[in-house]
Structure 1
């Protein structure tokens, strides 16, 4: 006490420092407590949100009505999209069997003529993959109509090859339609025996995939253009999906040294050798560039073409595409 009385200013300063330290310690403790509580509340809320997202809807009347409204809205939008797709794809026109055969022969002749003009090579037995029908007829009028629509798509594809600069079509094959193999009536029974899921049955009722296999010889630029235009509806009116693409160089081995030849250099004729020398140019003040230098190198690699194998799915939307969602799944 005597020291405090003797040193009042210093004691006051030490007292203020001590009180401030105690106040700051309290504030720090209080802030840490609030942070811990806030963190625990945040983690608890996050776990609750995750649990709500992963849990099923409670079977209350309000939730049932809300779910039915969302399902109906989804069905309307999907059916509207299906109707638009049916309008966008070319329709199937009624065709007789003899008419289809005549159409096939006409398309083959036109494709060969157009390929000659565009300098694109076709296989010797080119028939768009319909070789069986150059000398035979489809089994029914329904089959002839579907085959005629398939032929139109194949013709559009070959013309697209010509427009993109394909140099050669080495192979062109197509898958058989179910109506050609008399499988249209037996497909539902086959699906039920193998246990296909209702979603897969519904998808098969919405669309049909017709596979096309081609082997092409072309350059890199035409390949990029072809892939781009396959997905453009204005260039390809039929819906297509590129399922497989395999690219190889036309030549797997590098060129031999004997295959590399420099261009021959023709020496200038000074006037001898029995040929008349070229007259010397008249004097002129015109500045002319010097003649180009003789080539001393040639490209060895990089000019070879590409061998491309493409598996293309020709997608045809069926009439059920505009109303399949509104129908309850099988087995419900």
Structure 2
């Protein structure tokens, strides 16, 4: 998570104002600078200028190797989604020609449920139940967008065939970390074999969010509507049903921070009613999402052995990996039937 400290050295407000003038945006002093708290490594600040509010997103002062390219892709996606019915942050303007890349978007008028529920959501079980259905509806809306709005984006050809080998290779790469004894994940091989045997024969390419789960959604203050899908860092053109699988794999169980959500089966039925996509292999996508996310989380466990991540964090994420493979087993046994 970001901290409440703004890395002011990462933002040249004078240069920002000059650039905003060149975009034809309202002028005047930049005021009201405040951090936007969220699950991102990038700098995000809210600011005001000329009577208009914005959120600025740019890499940290000491950017990671791909930080600028990720933001360049994000800006391109948000530009492509303008004018669609997909609830996404509204892009105002982007500077992608030189580094650091940054962009301005309109603030989202909504809340993230992982930080707590406001009223009327906290008191109304019908609203909370509907929030889950609206999450499925927003995803179905994304799946309807023609991927042709993002020419050359991603590698949709052979997308599904690449998944199991790609993530097994990722898991094998952890052996390079000193001290990692190898993956102790019950069901790993069985899950990989099941996925390989049941690979869907075909799919219709579409825009994928890539990390579609409840914590990456913001909801309207006055009801269950999804105000915006956020954090588009993993977006690509692939199979949108893997986003649905990701939602199922990460779906809160029991009375989590949003009690009374619909069941996974209800999510699938609601999505199916809004989409023309073939959901006959939806269990495959849910298992694939558990498989991929479990391997991603195991990477931190492996880095902890090498002293490159805190041990308690590594242990926690390893436990989450084991839980994901258990959930994969439930999906393989027909939990969505």
If asked which structure has higher relative contact order (CA below 8 Å, sep 6+), I would say: 1
Decide: shared fold, TM above 0.5.
no
Q: Larger radius of gyration, structure 1 or 2?
A: 1
